[in-house]
Amino acid sequence: MVIKQSTTDSANYTHISNAANTASGLSPFYNDIGGSGRGSGRVEKRITISMFVMVTDILILVLLSTSSIRACSLFINPRNVFCRTDASELKNKTLVEVFANHLDSTEFMLPYDDSYFNFCSIADGISIRTSLGHNLLGDRIRSSPYKFQFRKDESCHHVCTKKYESSNIQQQKMLQRLMKGIISNYQHYWTIDSLPVRTCYISAQNEEICTFGVPIGCYITKNGETKHLCNFREKRNDTFYVFNHIDFEITYGGSQHRESVALHDEDCGSISVVKVQVRSLNSDKCNYSSEALMFQSTTEYINIPFTYTIKFVKGAQNSWGSRWHYLFKSIPQTDIEGFSVSLSLIIILFLLLVIAIIRFCVSHENLTRDIWYDKNGEIASCWVNTGFNCLK
């Protein structure tokens, strides 16, 4: 006697073979099943479904793996085309804005807004529309008082001045916050046209090193130890230095794709590189020869002017997909090729795992339906033409 166990919606049923079967006891049974349109139809239907699922899995794997790097576009926004003010009839943007994210620290996990440390900010600053990736990461990007006219260099621009008087309790509280922020190495995280602003400096090996974020200052301890980026000729113990001056350098260029007629105009272009240098200047006139703006932990009265310069540099053309490559070239021990390969491998391995789980579930279900058991409960055989479903 041979019994078939089934999980169909109708009911469990059994098939009894003839006692005069061959040595295997299955040939007459197969003839009966083969001659039945009901049994052969079920087999062909299951084979068709299995092949369809397999082909679909392969197509999904190929499409997603080849576009793995493009998937990062969830975290970025498309670039804009900017034009000079006198070329505004082209209906492109003329104002280049710096958008501020919350300040983060390399030593603490708590983020803060600009207003927490009493930096220059816009009272009615609005949050901009960010990409899905920014929302998933918890970024809250707002407008800032740093705004430039495209291709208009400025040698000095005064943003605001923050005053801290000993008689004002609220101002003294803000000054204490600023000191703690400098010690904890809190940094601005700005973006211009969806590109992150990087701080660049020349290393001892005469190489340009750029890092993400703009530090708000540095601190020299009472023992004379320097914390973070604090390269000053005259260093005093227990002294805070505020980086109140920013030198912006924006590189712009055309595009290899004809995104807009404005890209081929001499007065227009798209931003490709954004970098800054930070300075500590005790001057609201951007006087580089002035002494650094510094104060000690016992200071109760000080004025901090915030200024910046802006310089636009003509660069080479670049495509939309390669405008972020420069971010990895200046970071030590980082290779864009290795990063791309690693990201692709991670996505492919994840997809393979998902497909393997799906195939296992499908195979397990087919095995429980298609395997024939004898009267002792042992596997006797499988249906004909069931392929990999008969694998044990």
Residue 163 and residue 54 in one domain: no
Most confident of the following: 30-39, 268-277, 318-327, 362-371? 268-277
Residue 174 and residue 41 in one domain: no
Q: Select from 323, 358, 381 the last residue of a domain.
A: 323
Residue 86 and residue 60 in one domain: no
Residue 56 and residue 95 in one domain: no
Burial of 306 (0-12, 13-18, 19+ CB in 10 A): buried
Instruction: Please answer whether residues 86 and 265 qualify as being in contact, where contact means their C-beta atoms are separated by less than 8 angstroms.
Output: no
Residue 30 and residue 86 in one domain: no
Q: What is the pLDDT of residues 237-252, one digit of tens each?
A: 889 999 999 999 999 9
Partners of 97 in the beta sheet? 147
Judge whether residue 72 has pLDDT over 60: no
Residue 73 within any structural domain of the chain:
no
Q: Which residue has the higher pLDDT, 14 or 241?
A: 241
Looking at residue 229, what is its pLDDT? 74
Q: Select from 323, 352, 378 the last residue of a domain.
A: 323
- Count of domains observed in the chain: 2
User: Alpha-carbon distance 332 to 354, whole Å?
Assistant: 35
Residue 60 within any structural domain of the chain:
yes
287 — pLDDT class (breaks 50, 70, 90) = very high
Q: What share of the chain is helix, strand, coil (3-state, %, to 5)?
A: 30, 30, 40
Residue 251 and residue 142 in one domain: yes
Look at 237-246, 297-306, 329-338 and tell me which has the smallest mean pLDDT.
Answer: 329-338
Residue 189 within any structural domain of the chain:
yes
Q: Select from 272, 294, 323 the last residue of a domain.
A: 323
Alpha-carbon torsion, ordered 112, 114, 119, 125, to 10 deg: -160
Average the pLDDT over 54-72 and give the result.
57
User: Alpha-carbon distance 5 to 391, whole Å?
Assistant: 17
Q: Which amino acid is it at 57?
A: D
Six-digit token pair at 196? 């992150």
Look at 71-80, 113-122, 221-230, 321-330 and tell me which has the smallest mean pLDDT.
Answer: 71-80
Looking at residue 320, what is its pLDDT? 61
User: Alpha-carbon distance 142 to 231, whole Å?
Assistant: 31
Looking at residue 304, what is its pLDDT? 95
Residue 33 and residue 162 in one domain: no
Residue 111 and residue 255 in one domain: yes
Instruction: Please answer whether residues 322 and 255 qualify as being in contact, where contact means their C-beta atoms are separated by less than 8 angstroms.
Output: no
Six-digit token pair at 227? 């914390």
Domain range enclosing 246: 79-323
Average the pLDDT over 32-57 and give the result.
55
Which one-letter DSSP state was computed for residue 103? B
Report the mean per-residue pLDDT for the chain: 73
Which one-letter DSSP state was computed for residue 9? S
| pTM for the model | 0.65
